[in-house]
Chains A and B, each alone.
Chain A
């Protein structure tokens, strides 16, 4: 199937507007990792995920697990664009009683398959859903989004080893390689050396893509679809805060909201308001 890349880019732009709106309104939250992942999430949901927005708990749906659950504004944005939740629901981000909890939560928000927030848990959970699909003879896929800081957690590698052992061809990882974690650049916090080689040596199919180039992302997703002999990962090179000049590649916007002036600037850059 061919996809209109411009349509995907326009959806991603709208999602970026939602993301900035959410964190600005809440004056809290995680814009950086939401903006780095959003092109990937857009392409994944628009072109791959077999889901029904009017039946979010449909048993045979593909599963998406946002393991880096703090990047929830990105997920809520695409869920709104896909019709799982309404654009108005996005105002409930971090608000008491709101379905858009600070970290994605399957008990609160339709379309969310995993209650995240503690890093390093999503791949193990995803392995469980992938085994369940295999036991049922279903072709459904599991996609897990990991952060690059997140893969410093040892449990990620327990899951990586186990998934290869069990030859889980229906388990797919997208790694958001934005090079920044909470306190600083990954390079300063914990050097990870050759990440593709690590996954290869754990028995995974590996492909690297530019996580902000829709054509490359689509190739990456196709790679995930075509490699079913074992688990597969695309390592997406991204820029944290991509799309907003002052957030881009800036560790300060891992977990900080823009002020009013910065918000206005962001809306100009996203083409929402005139200069």
Chain B
């Protein structure tokens, strides 16, 4: 885990590889340098559409392209995809047009830009839209593979990437990665920690901490929030008996919400959710923010202890 890289660079790399498909087009809203679509733009200016600082326009231009047989990939900061939420709802999801939206710089981990840039609700809102795939990959390799798989899917999608570097987890393990399938990164029978994005490596750290206290945790990378891998969750309930979720997102409606919904309807088990405690962020360093928001590895470990205590 010594290697680190930013998931947004995985998005940029995927677009370059996808360029072999002449139907792939890239849409930008003056943040290509940041979301990393700039590499595609440089190599394929003719298939790159600059929409200026106009996110609402961009998503519907994407819808028009998708309805005309193209495969549009549109990106901006996660927070500014939210500005075009209704365009996504009525113009993309409702007609089920495969526009692929990537929101970079998601979560409080984005850091010193402060609360206006730290989206903590994107996963929740896009998850409420029928037809839409929602993902938040944890490392550069999985971001690249999952983005490339999107080009084969016929569904619209929202993928959140992160600004800052995080450990590379899947080098040489590309075969494990598939849209809609959670990945078990570590196995233990006492508790299962289900995480997404930046919080996956925090969860691995927490599991290490717990192991020193004699507690054995399973850690799952649930990179796809929708469709949710319910089968895996059911298995985790039967092997571990208690669940913790961990996300750099509001505690309401994101991964924790999705898992809670599944558990309530299928296999109830004690669940502790680690997430942003229903408050806006502020300026701070990436790691500082995980502390301030009470979502860094020690908080995950504490949540695991609580979940285990609640087992019958």
Contact = CB atoms under 8 A, between A and B. Distances in A.
B52 A102 contact: no
A105 B114 CA distance: 9
Contact of A152 (B54, B112, B116): B54
The 8 A-B pairs with the shortest beta carbon distances in the complex, nearest first, are: A117-B116, A190-B52, A96-B284, A152-B52, A102-B114, A94-B112, A152-B53, A102-B113
A236 B83 CA distance: 28
A230 to B, nearest CB: 26
Given A101-B283, A181-B30, A153 B112 contact: no
Interface of A: 26, 28-29, 69, 94-98, 101-103, 105, 108, 115-120, 149-150, 152-154, 181-183, 188-190
B208 interface: no
A189 B51 CA distance: 7
Contacts of A69: 116
Interface in B18-71: 28, 30-34, 38, 50-54, 56-57
B283 A153 contact: no
Given A96-B288, A183-B32, A189-B30, A105 B53 contact: no
A206 to B, nearest CB: 21
B117 interface: yes
A29 B115 CA distance: 14
Contacts of A118: 79-80, 83, 116
Interface of B: 28, 30-34, 38, 50-54, 56-57, 79-80, 83, 112-117, 282-285, 288, 292
Binding site secondary structure of chain A: loop
Contacts of B282: 96-97, 101, 108
**Best-buried of B30, B115, B288 by chain A (most CB within 10 Å):** B30
B86 to A, nearest CB: 13
Binding site secondary structure of chain B: loop
B45 to A, nearest CB: 10
Given A118-B116, A183-B30, A183-B38, A190 B53 contact: yes
A108 to B, nearest CB: 8
Contacts, number: 88
B116 A94 contact: no
23 contacts: A29-B112, A94-B112, A94-B283, A96-B285, A96-B288, A97-B282, A101-B282, A101-B283, A102-B114, A102-B117, A103-B114, A120-B53, A149-B52, A150-B53, A152-B30, A152-B53, A153-B53, A154-B57, A182-B30, A182-B33, A188-B50, A189-B30, A190-B51
A29 to B, nearest CB: 8
Nearest to A152: B52
Contacts of A182: 30-31, 33-34, 53
A63 to B, nearest CB: 19
A101 B80 CA distance: 19
A128 to B, nearest CB: 18
A188 B38 CA distance: 13
Nearest to B56: A154
A74 to B, nearest CB: 16
A188 B57 CA distance: 18
B48 to A, nearest CB: 11
B288 A115 contact: no
B112 A28 contact: yes
Nearest to A191: B52
A118 B77 CA distance: 11
A101 B114 contact: yes
Contacts of B34: 182
B122 to A, nearest CB: 14
Given A95-B283, A118-B116, A181 B80 contact: no
**Best-buried of B31, B38, B50, B288 by chain A (most CB within 10 Å):** B50
Nearest to A251: B33
